[in-house]
Amino acid sequence: MYLMTILRLLLRVLLGAALIYYGVGHLSFLREEFQAQVPLWLPLGADLVVVASGVAEILLGIGLIAWGRVVPIAGLATAVFFVLIFPGNISQYVEGIDAFGLDTDQARLTRLFFQPLLVIWALWSTQALSLLRRRPQNRSPHS
């Protein structure tokens, strides 16, 4: 049990640190790479999407590294975020866009299978599913 707790913590902090790193990258040194992944059909400017998602990644990363009640909420939000950005990965594959060293159809296709793993990682490492299983408690002193 103790090892599982340590593993969850390490994976949660690793995911949080990665989100912060890539969030900063959205705003600076990886900006053009991320712009290439914004689907052409999205009715927003690529730079706006990249900046907004970068800020979101930084905030989610901080939430994952935090302690207490915010962690499962951050985990659930991170999982939802990974689902919401998945169309960008699909678009990169369908449109054959080279970015992040993904310069073949096989590499872009393989990447698609990692997105569900990120969702599972966020949910498992933060025990976010416990939020969905909790039942509201009556906190009335007259119960």
Q: How high is the mean pLDDT in each 10-residue block of the chain (143 residues)?
A: 94 98 97 90 94 98 95 97 94 91 93 96 95 66 54
Report which DSSP code applies to 139: -
H or E element in which residue 138 lies:
none
Domain ranges in the chain are 9-129
pTM of the model: 0.89
Interatomic CA distance for residues 88 and 90, integer angstroms = 5
Q: Are 80 and 95 in contact (CB under 8 A)?
A: no
Q: Are 39 and 74 in contact (CB under 8 A)?
A: no
